[in-house]
Structure 1
Amino acid sequence: MAEKDRLGREGESLAARWLEDRGFTVVERNWRCAAGELDLIVRRARTTVFVEVKTRSSIAYGHPFEAITAAKAARLRRLAAEWCRAHGPVPGDTRIDAIAVLVARGAEPSIEHLSGVA
C-alpha cells in the first residue's frame, strides 16, 4: 500500500473513532458506487451524516479542508443522494460533514470537524 493510501486509511480510522467517542455510530466505511466513494456514513439520533475525511501529514500544501472545493462538494451531494437511493428511505435528517486529520510525525493526531459543508 502506498504511503498516501496508508495515511488516508489511518485518518479515516482516527475520524471514525473520534466520531464514535462523540456518540455517532458508524453505518458504513468506504462505500463505493460508479460515481465515486463516501469515506464514512455515520448516524446519531435521527441524523445520517456523510463524512468526507481529509488527512495530511503537514499543512505545507494547505489545510486539509482546502481540498473540499465547490466541485468536490457537489460530488459529495450526488454520492449522498446515490447512497440514499441504494439504501431505501433514510429516516430523519441527512447532512454532509468534513473531518480534517493532521498526522504530523512525532505529534498526537489533530482532528477538526466541520458540520454541514455541502
Structure 2
Amino acid sequence: MAGGASPGRTAARQALGRYGEELAARRLTEAGMSVIARNWRCRAGEIDIVARDGDALVVCEVKTRRAARGGSPMFEHPMAAVRPGKTDRLRRLAGRWLADHGGPPAGGVRIDLVAVVVPRRGAPVVEHVRGAA
C-alpha cells in the first residue's frame, strides 16, 4: 500500500470519508439545496457532491478528519487540505460536469467546501463555506 497504510487503515479512512460525505449532504439539504449527484467521476477526477442552490450549480468538496487525540500533535484542519491545485482541479471538473449535463445554469457555478471534524466523543462538527474556491 502507498504510504505504508494497511488495508484495514485504508478501509477505515474510506468509511470516515463516506460518513463525512453523508453529513455534508445532510447539511447542504438542510440549507435548502438539492443534492443531484454524489461521487461523480470522470477521467479527470471526482466531485464529492453536486447540488443545486436555487438556479446555481454547486460543486462541493468534502474533507473529513478525526480530531487529534489527547497528547497528539495538532491535526491539519480539513479546510487546509484544499490547496490551489485542488481548487484548480475542481474548476476543471465543474467544466466537465457542465459539458456532460447541458452547460451552465442561469445562476452560474459555485464551488463550496464542507469540513467535517469527528471528535473522539460527542457530535461531529460540520462547517460549510460557500464560494470558497
Which of 74, 79, 102 is the aligned partner of 2:93?
79
CA root-mean-square deviation: 1.2
Runs (5+) with no aligned partner, structure 2: 1-9, 69-73
User: Whose Rg is larger?
Assistant: 2
Counterpart Cα distance in 2 of 1:7 and 1:105: 13
Does the residue aligned with 1:90 lie in a helix, a strand or coil?
Answer: coil
Alignment partner of 1:41: what SS? Answer: strand
Name structure 1 gaps, 5 residues minimum: none
TM-score by structure 2 length?
0.85
Aligned match of 1:41 in 50, 73, 81?
Answer: 50
Aligned residue number for residue 116 of structure 1:
131
Does structure 1 residue 61 correspond to structure 2 residue 75? yes
Aligned to 1:4: 13
Distance 2:87 2:58 in 1: 14
Task: Give the residue type in structure 1 aligned to 2:121.
Answer: G
Taking the aligned partners of 2:105 and 2:87, their CA distance within structure 1 comes to 23
- Counterpart amino acid of 1:89? G
Deviation at 1:44?
1.7
Q: TM-score, normalised by structure 1?
A: 0.95
Displacement of 1:7 after TM fit? 0.3
Residue type of the alignment partner of 2:87: A
Deviation, 1:90, is: 3.1
Task: For 1:86, give the aligned amino acid.
Answer: D
